[in-house]
A and B are shown apart, each in its own frame.
Chain A
Amino acid sequence: MTTVLDRLNYALLHAMETDERVYLLGEDILDPYGGAFKVTRGLSTKFPERVLTTPISEAAIVGVANGMALRGLHPVAEIMFGDFTTLIADQLVNHASKFRWMYNDQVRVPMVVRVPMGGRRGYGPTHSQSLEKMFLGVPGLKVVAANALGDPAELLTAAIADDDPVLFIEHKLLYARSLLELGKGDLIDFKVDNTGGISPAFTLRPMDSARLTLACYGYNFELARAAALDLLMEHEVFVEIVLFSQLSPFDLEPLFLSLARTRKLLTVEEGTLSLGWGAEVVARAVERMGGLQVRRVAALDLPIAAAKSLEDAILPLVQDIVRSALSLVN
């Protein structure tokens, strides 16, 4: 079975094989360790000159990548845990995302910053967060999130080929997941529309008319599908799921098409509720479509606890999605 991890690793390998401008930088990314989550495994053996292990200096890692990109290289930086993106915020917000525009389009910054996000592994308050919402809406910075339906290799390859900086979100629980195949497993009950493009959105349409649209990205697509199955089997409620690969800039056209059919929107994310991805999605949907019924499922506005009982209470679970969905349709 091909996993998300395999595909990400392959994309890096392929990029390094086909473009000598591609460099990898990050902490502990050399073999035999191959990175905290093994995404770079094997690469330093094949390309010892172009895989650079760094000191624990997240701001400088991204700053250095930034400078490399300004001068013609295509660096891919790994930040070991997404929680550490607080340390690279200045480089993303005040440097990488600004250069092209503030220098009047005279430069390009083809840089990718890969970040494992997400909880559910008991890592506690500073190694479990989904902080991507802090980087949404930063002009000049693209934020994409891998998922198990679209090919993560294609998404990462496109990010590396992009002229502009890309923050690439990888949920930790996705690494070991097998890629989904259309018409198999729990996808058998859905027709899947794909917008195509370099960061595609997918719309899963059930066999009968749906009463609700679930919007999600990344790992939460796994929860959304489980919830959809439960809603169908236990409650005879059909739902559509719109899965986004690109979080920012916001492009919600596929969602609007779905909402035209259902008029009910439930957003699902693992970041904290307040001022999150879902808040912006809901706002734009209501601005565009008017009179919708909306709800958001997200993490509680609390630090993420280490104890499983507490973590489960804080992060959204399948039953939270089911409960919110039922409250919308009933």
Chain B
Amino acid sequence: MKKIGFRVRYNVPVMDDNFTLYKTMLLIRRFEERLLSEFTTGRLVGTTHAYIGQEADAAGIFSITEPDDVIFSNHRCHGHFLAYGGEPYRLAAELMGKATGLVGGRGGSQHIHYRNFYSNGIQGGIVPVATGMALAEKVHATGNIVLAFVGDGTLGEGVLYESLNIAALWKLPILFVLEDNRYAQTTPVEKGMAGSMSGRFTAFGIPVWERDTTDVLDIRSAADETLRAVRSGAGPACLILHTYRFSAHSKGDDPRSPEELARIRPFDPLTVHGVRLTDEECTKAESEVSIIIEDAFSRAEADPFPMLNLEH
């Protein structure tokens, strides 16, 4: 899979080569780490759901989406947003509750919107909305497709299955991306799910591509096949990515043992993909990302808080 495209990211055209993929993942990693640390300084309130460990999913998928594709993400949306090409500064400002945030401080971590990117914090409820968006794109013949991101925990929500049925019935251009990080908050998949994960989609006639990998190139390759399938007009498709979440569900709620965390650490997507880069390239990525993160958070911190305007 050699597809390489130009895209606009932070207003700078870049190529999705090995370095860029690594840098995208590193940006997500360092952004989330900075975010978690900011909670201890008191500059951030509320909650967050870090994407640490899952970076390859977003980096791989968004390296080959089209600029006008429509994205519906969930509570764990920062990684998707940054890989989509969203501005780290605007996200940082939103998380700090600043007027300059993506949605002026009204949404916070889980409820953001930028261009064709949307997120909401209700498990499952986003899926019929994304399905309706796919219908609108089909009606308007835009050629855009919709990507709806769900997790293994979302498989417990009934409206997901209503939506799969309708998406398949009406042959809608939507890709369901199921990121299985093996835990619904603290509940392991085997305690929350009976039957087959892929069978939930194939039961509706939705073709499934399934990968158990944290290698961004493998993920990009699988995503490319699924995106082609959806763009062909054949109807929805599903991409199941079995991955690992290294951090807690949100901030401190992680009952997993240190042994388990150590066992999954070798699957770190930065390690897996980092071997393809030279030491100099890794250092360069660190240095560039560090500048972006510092700029994002320092600018955001200086920004004003929003005021409630009841004239609205």
Binding site for B on A (CB under 8 A): 23, 52, 54-55, 57, 59-73, 75, 90-91, 94-95, 98, 101-107
> What are 20 A-B interface contacts by the 8 Å CB criterion?
A23-B139, A54-B166, A55-B165, A55-B169, A60-B163, A63-B131, A64-B128, A64-B163, A64-B166, A65-B132, A67-B130, A68-B135, A71-B133, A90-B122, A91-B128, A95-B126, A102-B111, A103-B103, A103-B112, A104-B103
CB-defined interface of B132-153 with A at 8 Å, one 1/0 digit per residue? 1111110110000000000000
CB-defined interface of B5-46 with A at 8 Å, one 1/0 digit per residue? 000000000000000000000000000000000000000000
B166 & A57 in contact (Cβ 8 Å cutoff): yes
Q: How far is the CA of A294 from the CA of B122 in the complex (A)?
A: 41
Q: How far is the CA of A54 from the CA of B135 in the complex (A)?
A: 13
Give the nearest-CB partner of B103 in chain A: A104
B128 & A59 in contact (Cβ 8 Å cutoff): yes
* Central interface residue in A57, A70, A104, by most chain B CB within 10 Å: A104
CB distance from A75 to the nearest CB of B (A): 8
* Central interface residue in B102, B133, B163, by most chain A CB within 10 Å: B133
Contacts A72-B140, A95-B125, A95-B129 given; indicate if A60 touches B159 (C-beta within 8 A).
yes
A67 & B162 in contact (Cβ 8 Å cutoff): no
Q: In the complex, which of the residues A23, A66, A106 contacts B128, with contact meaning CB atoms closer than 8 Å?
A: A66
A102 & B166 in contact (Cβ 8 Å cutoff): no
Contacts A57-B162, A94-B120, A95-B125 given; indicate if A67 touches B113 (C-beta within 8 A).
no
- 5 further interface pairs, Cβ-Cβ under 8 Å (given A60-B128, A60-B163, A72-B136): A55-B165, A102-B107, A103-B107, A104-B107, A106-B103
B132 & A95 in contact (Cβ 8 Å cutoff): no
CB contacts (< 8 Å) of B158 on chain A: these are: 59
Identify whether the interface residues of B are mostly helix, strand, loop, or mixed.
helix
B162 & A60 in contact (Cβ 8 Å cutoff): yes
CB contacts (< 8 Å) of B166 on chain A: these are: 54-55, 57, 60, 64
CB contacts (< 8 Å) of A59 on chain B: these are: 125, 128, 158-159, 162
Q: How far is the CA of A34 from the CA of B128 in the complex (A)?
A: 24
Binding site for A on B (CB under 8 A): 70, 102-104, 106-107, 111-113, 118, 120, 122, 125-137, 139-140, 158-159, 162-163, 165-166, 169-170, 312
Q: How far is the CA of A94 from the CA of B135 in the complex (A)?
A: 21
Q: How far is the CA of A57 from the CA of B159 in the complex (A)?
A: 8
CB contacts (< 8 Å) of A94 on chain B: these are: 120, 122, 125
Give the nearest-CB partner of A101 in chain B: B106
Q: How far is the CA of A62 from the CA of B159 in the complex (A)?
A: 11
CB contacts (< 8 Å) of B130 on chain A: these are: 67
CB distance from A50 to the nearest CB of B (A): 9
A67 & B131 in contact (Cβ 8 Å cutoff): yes
Q: How far is the CA of A73 from the CA of B140 in the complex (A)?
A: 9
Q: How far is the CA of A101 from the CA of B103 in the complex (A)?
A: 9
CB distance from B14 to the nearest CB of A (A): 26
CB distance from B27 to the nearest CB of A (A): 24
CB distance from B242 to the nearest CB of A (A): 27
A71 & B136 in contact (Cβ 8 Å cutoff): yes
Q: How far is the CA of A65 from the CA of B278 in the complex (A)?
A: 50
CB distance from B240 to the nearest CB of A (A): 21
Contacts A64-B166, A67-B128, A95-B125 given; indicate if A102 touches B133 (C-beta within 8 A).
no
CB distance from B195 to the nearest CB of A (A): 21
CB contacts (< 8 Å) of B137 on chain A: these are: 71
A91 & B125 in contact (Cβ 8 Å cutoff): yes
Q: How far is the CA of A117 from the CA of B299 in the complex (A)?
A: 52
Q: In the complex, which of the residues A57, A67, A73, A106 contacts B129, with contact meaning CB atoms closer than 8 Å?
A: A67
B120 & A95 in contact (Cβ 8 Å cutoff): yes
B106 & A70 in contact (Cβ 8 Å cutoff): no
B111 & A63 in contact (Cβ 8 Å cutoff): no
Q: How far is the CA of A59 from the CA of B126 in the complex (A)?
A: 11
CB distance from A76 to the nearest CB of B (A): 13
CB distance from A125 to the nearest CB of B (A): 22
CB contacts (< 8 Å) of B132 on chain A: these are: 63-71, 75
B120 & A67 in contact (Cβ 8 Å cutoff): no
B103 & A63 in contact (Cβ 8 Å cutoff): no
Give the nearest-CB partner of A71 in chain B: B136
Q: How far is the CA of A63 from the CA of B127 in the complex (A)?
A: 8
Contacts A57-B162, A71-B136 given; indicate if A63 touches B106 (C-beta within 8 A).
no
Q: How far is the CA of A65 from the CA of B166 in the complex (A)?
A: 12
CB contacts (< 8 Å) of B131 on chain A: these are: 60, 63-64, 67
Give the nearest-CB partner of A106 in chain B: B113
Contacts A60-B128, A60-B166 given; indicate if A67 touches B133 (C-beta within 8 A).
yes
Give the nearest-CB partner of B105 in chain A: A104
CB contacts (< 8 Å) of A107 on chain B: these are: 113
Q: How far is the CA of A95 from the CA of B136 in the complex (A)?
A: 17
CB contacts (< 8 Å) of A90 on chain B: these are: 122, 125, 159
Give the nearest-CB partner of B123 in chain A: A90
Q: How far is the CA of A104 from the CA of B101 in the complex (A)?
A: 10
B113 & A103 in contact (Cβ 8 Å cutoff): yes
B169 & A71 in contact (Cβ 8 Å cutoff): no
B135 & A102 in contact (Cβ 8 Å cutoff): no
Q: How far is the CA of A241 from the CA of B163 in the complex (A)?
A: 45
CB distance from A249 to the nearest CB of B (A): 13
